Every structure is written in structure tokens, then in C-alpha cells.
């Protein structure tokens, strides 16, 4: 699996997933439908057979199937079986198209496969003729009509009756005796359900109804037969169709997933090819191009491109930095070299040699300052890890710097520092920051000018400001002065500066969770503000 391509993996997983989901859902669907339809079919069969059984009676000793008896209804076939005098069951009527066992199977529907493996259920209801209805002539005691049916109705409870006698005829007791005797029942086993003498216009007739558990007529049973599961047989066909179609679906799903994965991976491949060619050609100005919509892949390409953008800017500024640094070092080195050659020449007298050494010393000082400025900046850019931070009194530190600062050009340094302002800081770095800003204000200040240093605290920030009424900065230069080695209009500037001071100020501000800003009016003065945000 490890060596299989990503495209193939996606295709395989998708196919497996689709196959599993299809199989589980289809099997579940078929199983549930089968259980439900089987239960419904059995229930339908039982109630239809029981309903039909109610339509069979013995009338005047003759078995009679009522007109309401249905031999075929809602897919169910019915037969009626009667036990002959020899004790064997004979089918008396019915429409069941198969030969099934002619013995009754009382209880639950039974499954059978009479032909072609098609499954059926049959259900038998044995009829117990235990309810008797007699009509007896009240005058002569003659039986006019009698019926026997099944009494599975529990409501048939024995009734209390009072003895009524017909004038010159028989009474209730006699009517009952006549009926029981005719049915071959005894008073002990029979339960009288109803005895009455309703008034008829032409004849007076006793109606006697009783139940008796002893059978007096040959048994009958009704059989119903129904297709075991019509829905299942449909489902069977569907299942077979699915079994044939499913592999086709799986192949289609696999092909679809593979093509989709291939299409997606093609764009990823194009990204990795572009990245490789950028890497091989070492050309950071190239950008990754991907065709297609606005999706995750183009997002990935955009992310790569913005990373390249940043890398390019960072490499270019590093290159610029190295070239600027070498340039700055080359000038003093060239001067030192020239002065050394001059001092070593036989023409140079003592005072000329001394002059050369003074110049070499100055250039060495300049180089030392440049190297230490570069070192400070590099350290500051490496982050907070190199420095120890502690909560210290910024007010005291700032006041101390302002108090001891020796300005030039008769410039006045005014300071307004709110006391007790504390900051989580590295005192050396903050000293560097403030001295840099004051020294710039002095360097770019006018004769007899002023410098104002302010330190205030607001809710969530501390603001340190250094303002001067010096030469000011041109609007165009304002965003550039924070860059390394940038000197605005170097002809106006004092040659002592390297253009690294403000870059360092900005880094120090960032290291202290702050930011440095400048406002300036060219010719009128500048105001540098460092805002430190208190950490929450
Ligand atoms: P430099 O060593 O040249 O002073 P900085 O990084 O400190 O380098 O400053 C960059 C440039 O910003 C300076 O060359 C100067 O042109 C301008 N600048 C800085 N501070 C001031 C100021 N207070 N007034 C006028 N211009 C300033």
C-alpha cells in the first residue's frame, strides 16, 4: 500500500467505501422489507381464513357454505375440507391450485413450496360446531329448523331464563329438552345461551340457542394459501439486478475517483514541478502558476507564491545589506590603506606621518562604530532570546539619559518625564533606542535649536517621544528612513551616520511589543514616537 500512488489510493478507498455502503444499505433494506412483508402476509392470511370460517354452518344437518365465503380474495386461495364418516379429510370445495396435505395444521401459517421453488404460506382453521340454534313449534313441540355453527365468541355466556309455557303446547324446559335430545347433547354438558318465545303472526315458535363442547357433527376446516412474500420476490429480482449492476457501479466509481484524483494530483504535480524548477534555477522571482478554479489547490499555490515573495524580499534585502555593509567598510579601509602607504613612503616627514596615523585612527574608530552598530542590529533581529528582560523603571532610565546627554550646536534638551512608569525591558536596548533618537535630533538639529523628550503612560500603553526643531525630513523619505543604510539626502546629512540607527530603533521597539513612528515637516522639525503596548 505504501508504494501505491496517491491517485490509486484515493480511487481504492472511494471504491471500497462505495461498495461497503451500497452492500450494507441494500442488505439492510432487503432484510427489513422481508421481515415486515412476511409478518403482514401472515397476518392477512390468518384474518382472511378466520373470516371465511365464520361463513360455514350446518343447516338442518347439511353442511352449508354461505355466499359470503370467498374462494379467492386479495391473492389468497381458499379450500374447505370435511371429514367423512370413515375419518379421512375430503376437500369439498375450493380454489387452491396445488395438492397439499389434506390434514389440518392448526396453529400458525406454515411455509410450503408446492412448485417451482415458489414459496407459499398455508393456514388452516378447524371448525368446531359447538353452537346450536333450534326453532321448535310451541304448540306441537316439532323441530322446524336447526343450525350448528362455530362459537369461538367468548361473549356467548349461559343465560338465566324463566319457564314460559305455551297454552296447550310445550314450555321452555320441554323445548330445551327437545333441542338437546335432537342434538345428542345432555343438560350437563350444554350451556343454554338463549331461550325465547317470540310472537309470530302465523306460528308460535320457541327459539333455543346453546353451546356444547362435545362434537355432534363431522369436523370441517378452512385452508387459506398465499404467496409467501410477493414483495420479497420483487426484491429478489431487484437483488439479482443489483448483484449484476453493482460491479458496474463499483467500476464506474473507481474510474471516476481515479480520474478525479488524477486531475487534482496533476495540479499538485504542476505546483511541485514549478517549485522544483524555481529551486533548480535558484530564481526566486518566478511564481507558481496553476490553472483551474478558486479551490484548495490554487490556495496552496497562492501560499507558495506569497512565501516566495517574502523569501525574495528577504534575500534581496540581505543581499543589499551585505553589499551596503561591504561598501561602508571599503571606504575607511581604502583610506587606511592610502594613509599607510603615504606614512611608509620615504618622502613623508614626521608630522605628515603623524597626520596619517591620526587619519588611520579616525577611520578605525569609524569602522569600529559601524561594526558594533551592525552587531547590535543583527542581535536585535535575532529576537528576544538573546536579551534579559525585567520590569524596570523606564522613567528613571529616561531621565538619567536626558540629564547626562551632552548636546552640541548649543541645542537645548528639554524633558518632561512622568515618574514611576515601569516597562518589562532590557535597559541596554532602551538606552540605545533613546540615545539614538536624541543623537539624531542633535545631528539633524539646527544651531541653538531645541529637543523635547516626553514620557507618558496611558491605559494600555507607554509613549516615548523625541521631538526636534531641526531640518525635518521630506515626505517621500519618511517611509524609507527605517531601512538599513538609508540616509535621506546624504549631502545634507552628517557623514558620521551609517543609516543604521533608526532600523535598530524600530527593531528594539518591536522587541518590546511596541512600534516606532515619525511625523516630520521638512525644514521645521521631526517628531519620533515609540509606543510600547503593555502585555496582558
Ligand atoms: P543615520 O546614522 O544616518 O542617522 P538613521 O537610521 O539614524 O541613520 O537615520 C536615517 C535617516 O533618517 C538619516 O540619514 C536622516 O536623513 C533621517 N533622520 C533621522 N533622524 C532625523 C531627525 N531627527 N531629523 C531629520 N532627519 C532625520
As a three-state string, the secondary structure of 9-62 is HHHHHHHHHHHHHHHHHHHHHHHHHHHHHHHHHHHHHHHHHHHHHCCEEEECCE
> d(Cα 244, Cα 255) in Å, to the nearest integer?
18
Q: 488 CA to middle of ligand 1, Å?
A: 7
Cβ(466) to ligand 1 under 6 A? no
* 504/502 Cα distance (integer angstroms): 5
CA dist., res. 279 & res. 284, Å (int)? 8
Crossing angle for the helix pair 350-381 and 296-344, to the nearest 10 degrees: 160
Q: Is 373 in the pocket of ligand 1 (CB under 6 A)?
A: no
Tell me, yes or no, whether 352 and 464 share the same domain.
no
Q: Is ligand 1 within 6 A of the CB of residue 509? A: no
| Nearest by Cα to 410 from 450, 448, 446 | 448
Mark whether 418 and 327 lie in a shared domain.
no
For ligand 1, whether the C-beta of 444 sits within 6 Å is: yes
| pLDDT value, residue 219 | 84
**304/473: higher pLDDT:** 473
Q: Are residues 512 and 420 in the same domain?
A: yes
The residue among 181, 169, 108, 106 whose CA lies nearest residue 141 is 169
Look at ligand 1, atom 21, and give the residue with the nearest C-alpha: 440
Ligand 1 site, residue 468, Cβ cutoff 6 A: yes
Q: Which residue range(s) make up the domain with 518?
A: 387-533
The predicted pLDDT at position 448 comes to: 95
Dist. CA 446 → ligand 1 center (Å): 14
Q: Is residue 159 part of a domain?
A: yes
Q: Give the span between the Cα atoms of 214 and 222, in whole angstroms.
A: 20
Most confident of 83-87, 232-236, 263-267, 426-430: 426-430
Inside any domain, residue 1: no
Integer-rounded Cα Rg, in Å, for the chain is: 58
Q: Whose CA is nearest to atom 17 of ligand 1?
A: 488
In-domain check, residue 78: no
Q: Using pLDDT thresholds of 50, 70 and 90, give the confidence band for residue 117.
A: confident
471 lines ligand 1 (CB under 6 A): yes
For residues 393 and 500, membership in a common domain is answered with yes
φ and ψ of 61, to 5 deg: 85, 0
Predicted local distance difference test score (pLDDT) of residue 528: 98
pLDDT number for residue 235: 65
Q: Other CB atoms closer than 10 Å to residue 407's CB: what's the count?
A: 16
340 and 403 inside one domain: no
- The answer to the question of residue 113 being in a domain is no
Of 345, 378, 411, which residue is a domain's last? 378
* Residue 422 CB burial class (10 angstroms; 0-12, 13-18, ≥19): middle
- Grid look-up 474510474 returns 255
Residue partners of 473: CB distance under 8 A and separation at least 6: 481, 488, 518, 520, 522, 526
Q: Pick from 243, 233, 135: which is nearest to 182 by CA?
A: 135
- Among 218-222, 359-363, 379-383, the least confident range: 379-383
Instruction: Judge if 484 and 346 occupy the same domain.
Output: no
Q: Write down which residue in 218, 240, 270 finishes a domain.
A: 218
Of 319, 344, 378, which residue constitutes the final position of a domain? 378
Question: Best of 380, 432, 485, 488 to mutate for ligand 1, by most ligand atoms within 8 A of CB?
Answer: 488
**Atom of ligand 1 at shortest range from CA of 499:** 8
Identify whether the C-beta of residue 475 lies closer than 8 Å to the C-beta of residue 490: no
Q: Residue 493 Cα, ligand 1 centroid: separation in angstroms?
A: 8
pLDDT, mean of residues 138-166: 79
Q: For ligand 1, atom 23, which residue shows the shortest CA distance?
A: 441
Which CATH number does the domain housing residue 499 bear? 3.30.565.10
Which pLDDT value is given to residue 534?
A: 85
pTM: 0.52
Name the percent of the chain lying above pLDDT 90: 35
**What is the chain's mean pLDDT, rounded?**
85
Tell whether 374 and 391 lie within a shared domain. Answer: no
| Ligand 1 and 502: CB distance under 6 A | yes
Q: Which of 60-74, 234-248, 482-496 has the lowest mean pLDDT?
A: 482-496
Name which residue sits closest to atom 12 of ligand 1, judged by CA. Answer: 481
* 3 state SS of 412: strand
For the Cβ of 526 lying below 6 angstroms from any atom of ligand 1, the answer is yes
> Same domain, yes or no, for 417 and 524?
yes
Instruction: Tally the domains of the chain.
Output: 3
Measured in whole angstroms, the distance separating CA 452 from the mean position of its chain's CA atoms is 61
DSSP structural state of residue 370: H
Q: Within this chain, do residues 332 and 466 fall inside the same structural domain, yes or no?
A: no
Among 473, 506, 529, the mutation site with the greatest number of ligand 1 atoms within 8 A of its Cβ is 473
Distance of alpha carbon 210 from alpha carbon 159, whole angstroms:
10
* 514 CB within 6 A, ligand 1: no
Q: Is residue 347 part of a domain?
A: yes
Ligand 1 nearest-atom number relative to CA 496? 2
What pLDDT digit, counting tens, does each position of 167-188 carry? 888 988 999 999 999 988 888 8
C-beta pairs of 420-423 under 8 Å, 24+ apart in sequence: 420/393, 420/395, 421/393, 421/394, 421/395, 421/455, 421/456, 421/457, 421/462, 422/391, 422/392, 422/393, 422/394, 423/391, 423/392, 423/394, 423/462, 423/512, 423/532
* Residue 338 shares a structural domain with residue 421: no
Q: 326 and 414 share a domain? A: no
Condensed to tens digits (0 to 9), the pLDDT of residues 10-31 reads 778 888 888 888 888 888 877 8
**Does any domain span residue 415?**
yes
- Flag whether 157 is in a domain: yes
406 within some domain: yes
**48 neighbors 71 (Cβ within 8 angstroms):** no
| Ligand 1 lined by 497 (C-beta under 6 Å) | yes
Compare 257 and 135 and report the one with higher pLDDT.
Answer: 135
- Ligand 1, atom 8, lies closest to the CA of 499
The upper half-sphere exposure of residue 181, i.e. CA atoms within 13 Å in the direction of its Cβ, equals 10
How is 133-146 classified by DSSP, letter by letter? EEEEETTT--EEEE
516 lines ligand 1 (CB under 6 A): no
pLDDT at 154: 46
Q: Are residues 400 and 523 in the same domain?
A: yes
**CA of residue 491 to ligand 1 center, whole Å:** 12
Q: Give the residue among 356, 331, 337 at the shortest CA–CA distance from 495.
A: 331
Ligand 1 atom showing the smallest separation from residue 489 Cα: 16
pLDDT above 70 for 218: yes
Give the cell for residue 423: 516597562
The pLDDT, as a whole number, for residue 462 is: 97
Please give the full DSSP string across 432-487, using - where no structure is assigned.
Answer: HHHHHHHHHHHHTPPTT-EEEEEEEE-SSEEEEEEEE-SS---GGGTTTTTSTT--
Cβ of residue 465 lying under 6 Å from some atom of ligand 1: no
- Cell 532590557 belongs to 426
- For ligand 1, atom 20, the nearest C-alpha belongs to 440
Distance of CA 405 to CAs 314, 408, 423, 528, Å?
36, 10, 22, 18
Residue 499 Cβ < 6 Å to ligand 1: yes
pLDDT computed for residue 491 by the predictor: 45
CATH code of the domain in which 341 resides: 1.10.287.130
Using one digit for the tens of pLDDT, what is the confidence trace for 489-503?
654 455 567 888 899
Ligand 1 pocket check for 486: Cβ under 6 Å = yes
Burial of 12-48, coded b for 16+ CB within 10 Å and e otherwise, reads bebbeebbeebeeebeeebeebeeebbeebbebbbeb
Residue 35 pLDDT: 84
Q: Which residue carries 547590535 as its cell? A: 376
Q: Residue 384 has what pLDDT? A: 60
Contact 445, 469 (CB under 8 A): yes
Q: What is the mean pLDDT of residues 48-74?
A: 90
Amino acid at each position: 500500500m505504501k508504494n501505491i500512488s496517491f491517485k490509486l489510493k484515493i480511487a481504492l478507498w472511494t471504491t471500497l467505501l462505495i461498495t461497503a455502503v451500497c452492500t450494507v444499505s441494500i442488505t439492510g433494506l432487503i432484510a427489513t422489507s422481508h421481515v415486515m412483508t412476511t409478518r403482514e402476509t401472515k397476518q392477512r392470511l390468518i384474518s382472511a381464513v378466520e373470516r371465511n370460517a365464520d361463513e360455514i354452518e350446518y343447516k338442518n344437518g347439511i353442511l352449508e357454505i354461505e355466499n359470503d365465503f370467498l374462494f379467492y380474495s386479495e391473492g389468497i386461495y381458499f379450500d374447505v375440507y370435511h371429514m367423512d364418516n370413515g375419518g379421512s379429510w375430503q376437500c369439498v370445495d375450493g380454489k387452491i391450485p396445488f395438492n397439499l396435505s389434506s390434514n389440518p395444521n392448526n396453529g400458525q401459517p406454515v411455509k410450503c413450496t408446492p412448485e417451482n421453488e415458489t414459496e407459499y404460506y398455508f393456514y388452516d382453521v378447524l371448525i368446531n360446531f359447538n353452537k346450536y340454534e333450534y326453532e321448535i313449534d310451541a304448540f306441537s313441540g316439532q323441530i322446524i329448523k336447526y343450525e350448528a355453527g362455530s362459537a369461538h365468541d367468548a361473549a356467548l355466556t349461559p343465560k338465566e331464563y324463566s319457564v314460559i309455557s305455551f297454552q296447550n303446547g310445550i314450555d321452555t324446559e320441554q323445548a330445551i329438552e327437545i333441542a338437546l335430545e335432537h342434538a345428542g347433547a345432555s343438560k350437563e354438558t350444554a350451556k343454554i345461551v338463549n331461550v325465547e318465545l317470540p310472537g309470530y303472526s302465523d306460528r308460535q315458535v320457541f327459539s333455543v340457542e346453546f353451546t356444547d363442547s362435545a362434537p355432534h357433527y363431522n369436523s370441517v376446516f378452512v385452508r387459506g394459501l398465499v404467496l409467501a412474500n410477493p414483495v420479497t420476490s420483487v426484491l429478489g429480482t431487484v437483488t439479482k439486478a443489483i448483484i449484476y449492476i453493482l460491479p458496474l457501479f463499483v467500476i464506474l466509481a473507481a474510474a471516476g475517483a481515479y480520474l478525479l484524483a488524477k486531475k487534482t494530483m496533476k495540479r499538485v504535480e504542476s505546483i511541485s514541478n514549478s517549485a522544483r524548477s524555481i529551486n533548480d534555477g535558484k530564481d526566486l522571482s518566478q511564481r507558481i502558476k496553476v490553472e483551474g478554479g478558486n479551490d484548495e489547490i490554487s490556495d496552496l499555490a497562492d501560499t507558495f507564491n506569497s512565501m516566495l515573495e517574502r523569501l525574495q524580499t528577504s534575500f534581496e534585502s540581505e543581499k543589499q545589506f551585505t553589499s551596503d555593509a561591504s561598501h561602508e567598510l571599503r571606504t575607511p579601509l581604502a583610506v587606511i590603506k592610502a594613509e599607510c602607504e603615504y606614512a611608509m613612503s620615504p618622502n613623508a616627514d614626521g608630522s605628515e606621518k603623524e597626520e596619517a596615523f591620526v587619519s588611520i585612527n579616525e577611520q578605525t574608530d569609524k569602522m569600529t562604530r559601524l561594526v558594533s552598530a551592525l552587531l547590535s542590529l543583527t542581535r536585535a533581529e535575532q529576537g528576544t532570546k538573546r536579551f534579559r528582560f525585567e520590569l524596570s523603571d523606564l522613567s528613571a532610565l529616561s531621565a538619567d539619559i536626558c540629564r547626562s546627554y551632552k548636546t552640541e550646536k548649543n541645542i537645548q534638551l528639554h524633558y518632561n518625564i512622568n515618574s514611576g512608569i515601569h516597562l518589562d525591558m532590557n535597559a541596554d536596548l532602551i538606552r540605545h533606542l533613546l540615545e539614538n533618537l536624541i543623537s539624531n535630533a542633535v545631528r539633524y538639529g539646527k544651531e541653538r535649536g531645541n529637543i523635547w523628550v516626553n514620557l507618558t503612560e496611558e491605559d494600555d500603553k507607554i509613549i516615548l517621544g523625541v521631538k526636534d526643531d531641526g531640518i525635518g525630513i521630506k515626505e517621500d523619505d519618511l517611509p524609507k528612513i527605517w531601512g538599513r543604510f538609508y540616509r535621506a539626502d546624504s549631502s545634507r546629512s552628517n557623514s558620521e551616520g551609517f543609516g543604521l540607527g533608526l532600523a535598530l530603533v524600530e527593531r528594539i521597539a518591536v522587541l518590546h511589543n511596541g512600534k516606532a513612528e515619525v511625523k516630520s515637516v521638512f525644514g521645521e522639525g521631526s517628531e519620533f514616537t515609540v509606543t510600547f503596548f503593555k502585555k496582558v
